[in-house]
């Protein structure tokens, strides 16, 4: 015979099914009436579904491990607009469908900030996808038919927030520029994009040499965009130098 636990699971009441004995014991202990018991079950199921939804969004976002902003050393960069970063973490740009561009040399925390923005968007209930420019273009470039390419373009175009990391570390051919342009164009003025780059926009033509769409791509990215520039020396270089100085060999 089907058990009560099985019936609850079939109805989608997974949290209640998993903790059925505890619920009965709690209701008996506090002498809950029918309304109190139903209110407890509704609250428990809502909390469980919220938790599972968050876990799914986190898994699908692929942001990986990251350092929280509480550990960011604001005093190290020579130039950083903290108020603008705080606004980005509040997702002000997302509400307007605008873009966020983080421009900095390697090792200054732009990816860290981008991942924290992505995490904040996930907590706010948005569907987020984090990828590098290389991963994105490799995925799109490997599609063997127009139908599969259209499906992948739709995948990138429909995420609530798309984060593209490390634009500028590699050079790409004209087709790659056209593919990235298609992603940006499909999201243009509809869904926000967070982009990190180590190059100012004036040097972007070096990323896509001989690409006719390079200028149009830049125009789409910077229009309705908050551009945050970080200047200074690399955090990682500072950490490496600190380790070197503290090593036994450094002391002589």
- Can you identify the CATH homologous superfamily of domain 69-237? P-loop containing nucleotide triphosphate hydrolases (3.40.50.300)
What pLDDT is recorded for position 208?
81
Question: For residue 23, how far is the Cα from the chain centroid?
Answer: 37
Q: Per-residue pLDDT averaged across 198-226, rounded?
A: 85
Residue 71's pLDDT band, with cuts at 50, 70 and 90, is: very high
Q: Work out the mean pLDDT of the chain and round it to a whole number.
A: 90
Q: What percent of the chain has pLDDT over 70?
A: 92
SS3 content of the chain, % helix, strand, coil (to 5): 60, 15, 30
CA angle 182, 214, 145 (to 5 degrees): 35
The four Cα atoms 240, 72, 199, 243 give a dihedral, to 10 degrees, of 0
pTM over 0.95: no
- In three-state secondary structure terms, 99 is strand
> Domain segments of the chain: what residues?
4-60, 69-237
Q: Which of 6-15, 91-100, 177-186, 205-214 has the lowest mean pLDDT?
A: 205-214
Q: So what's the pLDDT on residue 250?
A: 55
Going by pLDDT thresholds of 50, 70 and 90, the confidence category of residue 159 is very high
Give whole-number Cα distances, 102 to 18, 123, 187, 212, 234, in Å: 45, 21, 18, 24, 15
Q: Is 247 helix (H, G, I), strand (E, B) or coil?
A: coil
The pLDDT value recorded for residue 173 is: 85
- Range with the lowest mean pLDDT among 38-47, 74-83, 106-115, 196-205? 196-205
d(CA 143, CA 153): 10
Q: Mean per-residue pLDDT for 137-159? A: 95
- Provide the pLDDT confidence category of residue 213 given band limits of 50, 70 and 90: confident
Residue 169 pLDDT: 87
pLDDT of residue 168: 87
Q: Considering only 149-158, 178-187, 210-219, which range has the smallest mean pLDDT?
A: 210-219
Nearest by Cα to 116 from 194, 1, 208: 194
Is the pLDDT at 234 greater than 90? The verdict is no
pLDDT of amino acid 252 = 44
């Amino acid at each position: 015979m089907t058990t009560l636990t099985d019936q609850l699971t079939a109805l989608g009441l997974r949290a209640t099914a998993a903790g059925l004995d505890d619920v009965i014991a709690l209701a008996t202990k506090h002498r809950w009436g029918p309304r109190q018991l139903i209110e407890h079950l509704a609250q428990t199921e809502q909390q469980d579904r919220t938790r599972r939804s968050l876990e799914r969004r986190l898994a699908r976002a692929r942001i990986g491990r990251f350092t929280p902003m509480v550990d960011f050393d604001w005093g190290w960069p020579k130039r950083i607009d903290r108020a603008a970063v705080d606004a980005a973490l509040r997702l002000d740009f997302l509400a307007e469908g605008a873009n966020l561009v983080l421009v900095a040399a390697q090792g200054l925390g732009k990816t860290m900030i981008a991942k924290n923005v992505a995490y904040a968007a996930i907590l706010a209930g948005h569907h987020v996808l984090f990828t590098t420019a290389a991963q994105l273009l490799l995925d799109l470039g490997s599609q063997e038919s127009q139908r599969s390419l259209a499906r992948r373009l739709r995948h990138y175009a429909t995420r609530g927030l798309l984060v593209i990391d490390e634009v500028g570390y590699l050079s790409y051919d004209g087709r790659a520029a056209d593919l990235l342009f298609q992603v940006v164009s499909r999201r243009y003025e509809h869904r926000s994009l967070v982009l990190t780059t180590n190059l100012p926009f004036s040097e972007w033509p070096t990323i896509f040499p001989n690409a006719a769409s390079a200028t149009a791509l830049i125009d789409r990215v910077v229009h309705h965009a908050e551009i945050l520039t970080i200047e200074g020396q690399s955090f990682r270089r500072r950490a490496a130098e600190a380790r070197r100085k503290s090593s036994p060999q450094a002391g002589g």
